[in-house]
Chain A
Amino acid sequence: MALQLPAGVHEAIAQSWRSVSGTGQSELIPQARLSGPMPWVIAIMVALTVIAAAAGLSFSNTARNAADELAGGVTVQIVHANPVERDRQAVAAVGRLRKIPGVVDANMVSQAEVERLIEPWLGTRAAGDEAIPVPALVDARLRDPLTPETLGALRRAVREVAPDGRVDGQSSWLKPVFSAIQSLQWLSLALVGLLAFATSAAVLLAVRSALGSNRDTIEIVHLLGGTDAQIARIFQRSVGFDAAGGAAVGLALGLVVVLFLGRQFAELGAGLVSSGGLGWADWVLLALVPVGFVLLAMLTARITVLAALKRML
């Protein structure tokens, strides 16, 4: 059933829409003379932005997940040539750690797991070769993130029972990786900014060109009492339509690339890489990229037109 609105409301809504969108005035400037290659430029920019933003979000997720996982993690390495003594110290370290308040859990990493970890570097035979001393590893989880004070206390406690034990915070190992990820995040952000700037520049040039080729019409509208805002709305609306079409194509292209790359990385199966998957909030953010570009293009068109019209009487 159709919604019944009081008399006059339809017209008021239509009038408001016309005043915002420029409908009814837009035919003053032929759409074809304004468009040119602009929708395609915007499509490319949006596609690249979606890819760059997806990469940035993925890096952010990777860093956050890894940091969460490693923030309360401590590893004790016991390096001793004698495997018996090495195992004794490891067991003692586990026992000591479990008694410390704030340590949620402490476990020895099995020999098989250690061998699997070093296998890519030393090979299968070397891992089992006693000529190469393989350290015993103890993995401990803390309730709170590791602080230098906690680390000092843990080191002192472990040294009492395992003099060859070396205690390290797990997050400190990955500091260079986090630093690199952060750089990539900034790079993604910079790319998004540059692409937005390039889009603004493309819109500015297109609008200036359209202003030039429609100068006579604009003068007539001015002389008939048209305001700068009315003329700006005409351009804003035309640019908005062009940008919306281009942005939709760009979003589709960008998402195809992001999904393809996502699948490729997921197949790597590496923990750090696969932890960078996108959540629903990330997908919503990516879906907002074209909206942002349409608004940016319309705003650029408005500012460009108003600035140009100020030079006319």
Chain B
Amino acid sequence: MNSTATGEIVQFDNVGLRYGSDREVLSDVSFTLYPGTFYFLTGASGAGKTSLLKLLYLAQRPSRGMIRMFGTDAITLPRERLPGFRRRLGVVFQDFRLVPHLSAFDNVALPLRVAGVSDRELLRPVADMLEWVGLADRMHAQPAQLSGGEQQRVAIARAVIGRPELLVADEPTGNVDPDMAIKLLRLFEALNRLGTTVVVATHDVHLLRKVPDSLIMRLDKGRLSDPTGALRYPPRPHAVARAGED
């Protein structure tokens, strides 16, 4: 459903990114993401995880290199076609980026409204999603009335409500207690089993072991560590370095 002829959903080839005239924050990044695969993106603070994710969710164009998404060159993609691609993505931002004057319900409903779903049709899925993340009783609260953890759960609910083909999450469990972190990971796994490709950026090494079938992408000072070339040229999906094996 979401793969190209060769199976990849995202392909980065020698991608570099610099802001202004500063040095590159990402250099020679090459990898391939396959449909239905769970990836962790790790690295120290400042390694370039958020910058890489920005490229993935089309908030930034690279300074050089080639990016293909859903079988299309994402660098030369005209602006008018970006919304269509973005609707195939789900994004959990590190700073949540909830709309401050909207309720939790309306924040979660936003991707569906943008996609043209009527208010009547979105009522049930949004309510179910909020219940799933444990916020059914807080659906009318605005972000300022929610704790950091609750805001994060709203952000996650908003990212997954549209059943995206590619879910990109930047430190999605950073502000929640361990139990909720596990619960959210299970949600990501469930989506993954339904075919969504998941990329979770985290520096929590314990989290990596919670998803045994996941693949790990490690960034170090803007360079993707790929000693075996498995991320760039995977022998076949699900056969590269497994979490917990390294």
**B60 close to chain A: CB less than 8 A:** yes
Interface centre among A15, A225, A226 (most CB of B within 10 A): A225
**A149 close to chain B: CB less than 8 A:** no
User: Contact at A310–B79, with CB atoms within 8 Å?
Assistant: yes
Chain A interface: which size bin? Answer: 20 to 34
User: Contact at A222–B86, with CB atoms within 8 Å?
Assistant: yes
**A308 close to chain B: CB less than 8 A:** no
For B102, list chain A residues within 8 Å (CB).
27-28
Known contacts A27-B102, A225-B111: A313-B87 contact under CB 8 Å: no
For A15, list chain B residues within 8 Å (CB).
116, 118
Chain A residue nearest to B103 in the complex (CB): A27
User: Contact at A217–B113, with CB atoms within 8 Å?
Assistant: no
Counted as pairs of residues, one from A and one from B, with CB atoms less than 8 Å apart, the total is: 61
**A221 close to chain B: CB less than 8 A:** yes
User: Contact at A225–B83, with CB atoms within 8 Å?
Assistant: yes
Shortest C-beta distance, B199 to chain A (Å), equals: 15
Q: In whole angstroms, what is the CA distance A131 to B156 when docked? A: 105
Would you list which residues of chain A between 28 and 78 have a CB under 8 Å from chain B? 28, 30
User: Contact at A225–B106, with CB atoms within 8 Å?
Assistant: no
Interface string of B56-89 (1 = CB under 8 A from A): 0111110000000000000000011011111101
Interface string of A18-31 (1 = CB under 8 A from B): 01000011011010
Q: In whole angstroms, what is the CA distance A312 to B120 when docked? A: 32
Interface string of A200-225 (1 = CB under 8 A from B): 00000000000000001101111111
User: Contact at B113–A313, with CB atoms within 8 Å?
Assistant: no
Q: In whole angstroms, what is the CA distance A220 to B98 when docked? A: 8
User: Contact at B79–A224, with CB atoms within 8 Å?
Assistant: no
User: Contact at A224–B86, with CB atoms within 8 Å?
Assistant: yes
Would you list which residues of chain B between 78 and 136 have a CB under 8 Å from chain A? 79-80, 82-87, 89, 91, 97, 99, 101-102, 106, 110-111, 113-116, 118-119
Known contacts A24-B119, A223-B91, A225-B111; 5 additional CB pairs below 8 A are: A223-B59, A223-B86, A224-B114, A225-B114, A226-B83
Q: Which 7 A-B pairs have the closest CB atoms?
A: A225-B87, A225-B86, A226-B114, A227-B83, A225-B83, A224-B111, A217-B99
